[in-house]
Amino acid sequence: MREGVPMSDVSLTTALGYAHSPGNLVQRGLRRLAGSRHGAAALSRTLRHADGLVSRRTEGRHSAASLATGLSVLTLTTTGRRSGARRTSHLIATPFGDDLALLGTNFGQSTTPAWALNLEAHPECTVAYGDRELPALARAATPVEADEVFDLASRFYVGYAHYRKRIGDSRRIRVFVLSSRPHSSDAAQ
């Protein structure tokens, strides 16, 4: 990062170079399909397997979702709330000021995604995008922040609005704000 500047003072969004592109015509069409009830149902069962395969083949530079939709997909590594094991998820984040926000919509399903439960139990995590991996600290978004994040996220991926509507009041959608945290070597200085 910038020399002499503590990691916690650097924007996570900037440090990772994380941003979304508008996508081409095909990618925008696939985004709409993914947000539909049938598209989301199919993706919820298949995408993590395809993401893992594409990520391994491209040495972490891409995921199936990023290639198909043109959306930026980061890799979140959490600590399992019960197992204590490291768990990896490919997620679409929302730039939120200097931070990144994550929406626990789970494709509009009735269950909360495991990564969200893991972050609640262990907020220290790592985020990787492209060739950069950084330590981060998650916190629950306030209700006002959560609404703002949904509005921002729906601008680049309309699926989030559909997921939120489908979930309704059946469960609380976890929304997290991830901020930079110092590397352990930075903290010792």
Domain that holds residue 37: 11-181
- Edge to edge, the sheet with strand 132-140 lists 86-92, 73-79, 124-129, 132-140, 175-180, 99-103, 94-96
Q: Is residue 1 part of a domain?
A: no
Number of domains comprising the chain = 1
What confidence category does residue 183 fall into, taking pLDDT thresholds of 50, 70 and 90?
Answer: low
At 119 the pLDDT is 98
* Residue 136 falls inside a structural domain: yes
CA distance 52 to 32: 23
The CATH number of the domain holding residue 154 is 2.30.110.10
pTM: 0.83
176, 184 Cβ separation under 8 angstroms: no
| Within a domain: 6 | no
Q: How confident is the model at residue 76 (pLDDT cuts 50, 70, 90)?
A: very high
Residue 107 lies in a domain: yes
Full DSSP string of 88-121: EEEEE-EEETTEEEEE--GGG-SSPPHHHHHHHH
| Alpha helices, DSSP H, located in the chain | 12-16, 25-35, 37-57, 64-69, 114-121, 143-156, 159-167, 184-187
Structure tokens, 23 = 């996508």
Domain contains 112:
yes
Per-residue model confidence (pLDDT) at position 4: 39
User: Helices 143-156 and 159-167, interaxial angle, to 10°?
Assistant: 130
CA distance 165 to 153: 14
Specify if 46 maps to a domain: yes
- Domain annotation covers residue 106: yes
Q: 157 versus 182: which is more confidently predicted?
A: 157
Check pLDDT > 50 for residue 120: yes
Say if 2 falls within a structural domain: no
Provide the mean pLDDT of the chain.
Answer: 87
Residue 37 in this model has a pLDDT that exceeds 90: no
